């Protein structure tokens, strides 16, 4: 089966973190605010719901429907905590935009509160904030093209300037387990390197998504992290990720889309949705997963680089 083509927008959705697309200036209310005050807050700011915050932590959400219920009951002078919803869907700031989009669609929400590792409210993400931020990133990427031209020229001539039967460039990255602050850094550096080598944009996008998912697997599922090795040839890119445990008990199961072995606290952070290996397989030309329970896991993925006219090799 041919690998799926990835658009620039899809790549950004998979590899951008929520903290980069959220609105940080969040309108909030308190548990002791009256429903009349909440009504005025919603009306004045033209929003349909507001987080209820106490000591920096979100304890619930009050919506316009809650206000309408309070009006019907004649209780506009009652405090917000009597009407708020406490079972709130939220997302961690370090989660990917892909997870945020899924959360918005899955739960039918207009917005998702964003919290940090201490569950403190730090922002809000909506479809609008996502679209605006992605458009800004695409514009920034376009502006950086001129700055990258010199680096791209130098790097793209490596294979032409070195004479051998089979030249390759090897890149290595060490990934620490549970290091969510740096998650995605290695895949970003790999993407930049491929762009400077003037690999076709469509291939770079596929690699960026697949390597991001592979890097997140090392961060989420391993005991001591692992290593990503990239071998770049004229006609292919080979990528391997290796860790030293805990290994996978049932390889066939983890290859099923939506099946996740991530613990509950990881999934609560917006990671570990069980789509990583499925996304890697659909982006790559070849994928091979080898694992022994309690020992180690190795993932090998290959991307073929077809010969193309010089004009088709310009990176975006």
Q: What is the pLDDT of residues 36-76, one digit of tens each?
A: 999 999 999 988 889 999 988 889 999 889 999 999 988 89
User: Looking at the chain, which runs of residues are DSSP E strands?
Assistant: 49-54, 57-63, 91-92, 111-115, 121-126, 169-175, 226-232, 236-243, 286-292, 296-304
Q: Which of 102-106, 173-177, 245-249 has the highest mean predicted lDDT (pLDDT)? A: 173-177
- Token digits for 157? 């001539």
Q: Which of 171, 300, 167 has its CA nearest to residue 239?
A: 300
d(CA 196, CA 61): 47
| Domain extent listing, the chain | 8-129, 146-313
d(CA 59, CA 129): 23
Pairing of strands 286-292, 236-243: unpaired
d(CA 183, CA 22): 18
What pLDDT shows up at residue 7?
A: 83
The answer, yes or no, to whether residue 172 has pLDDT greater than 90, is yes
Q: What is the CA radius of gyration of the chain?
A: 23
CATH number of 146-313: 3.30.565.10
pTM attached to this predicted model: 0.64
What dihedral do alpha carbons 278, 108, 181, 59 form, nearest 10°?
A: -140
pLDDT in tens, 186-241: 999 999 899 888 889 899 999 999 999 999 999 999 988 999 999 999 899 999 99
d(CA 108, CA 132): 20
CATH number of 8-129: 3.10.580.10
């Amino acid at each position: 089966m041919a690998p799926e083509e990835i658009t620039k927008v899809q790549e950004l959705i998979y590899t951008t973190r929520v903290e980069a697309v959220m609105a940080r200036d969040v309108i909030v209310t308190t548990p002791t605010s009256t429903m009349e005050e909440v009504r005025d807050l919603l009306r004045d700011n033209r929003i349909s719901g507001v987080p209820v915050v106490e000591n920096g932590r979100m304890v619930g959400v009050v919506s316009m429907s809650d206000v309408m219920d309070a009006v019907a009951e004649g209780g506009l002078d009652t405090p917000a905590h009597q009407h708020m919803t406490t079972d709130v869907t939220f997302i961690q700031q370090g989660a990917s935009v892909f997870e945020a989009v899924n959360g918005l669609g899955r739960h039918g929400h207009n917005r998702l509160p964003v919290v940090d590792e201490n569950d403190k409210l730090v922002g809000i993400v909506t479809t609008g904030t996502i679209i605006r931020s992605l458009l800004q990133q695409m514009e920034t990427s376009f502006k950086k093209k001129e700055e990258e031209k010199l680096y791209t020229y130098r790097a793209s001539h490596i294979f032409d300037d070195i004479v051998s039967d089979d030249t390759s460039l090897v890149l290595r990255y060490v990934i620490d387990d549970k290091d969510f602050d740096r998650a995605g850094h290695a895949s970003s550096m790999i993407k930049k390197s491929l762009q400077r080598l003037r690999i076709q944009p469509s291939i770079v996008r596929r690699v960026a998504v697949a390597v991001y998912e592979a890097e997140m697997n090392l961060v989420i599922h391993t005991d001591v992290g692992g290593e990503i090795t990239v071998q770049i040839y004229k006609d292919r890119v080979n990528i391997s990720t290796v860790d030293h445990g805990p290994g996978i008990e049932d390889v066939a199961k983890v290859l099923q889309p939506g099946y996740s072995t991530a613990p509950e606290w990881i999934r609560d952070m917006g990671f570990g949705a069980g789509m990583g290996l499925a996304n890697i397989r659909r982006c790559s030309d070849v994928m091979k997963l080898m694992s022994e329970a309690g020992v180690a896991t190795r993932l090998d993925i290959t991307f073929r680089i077809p010969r193309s006219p010089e004009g088709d090799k310009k990176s975006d």
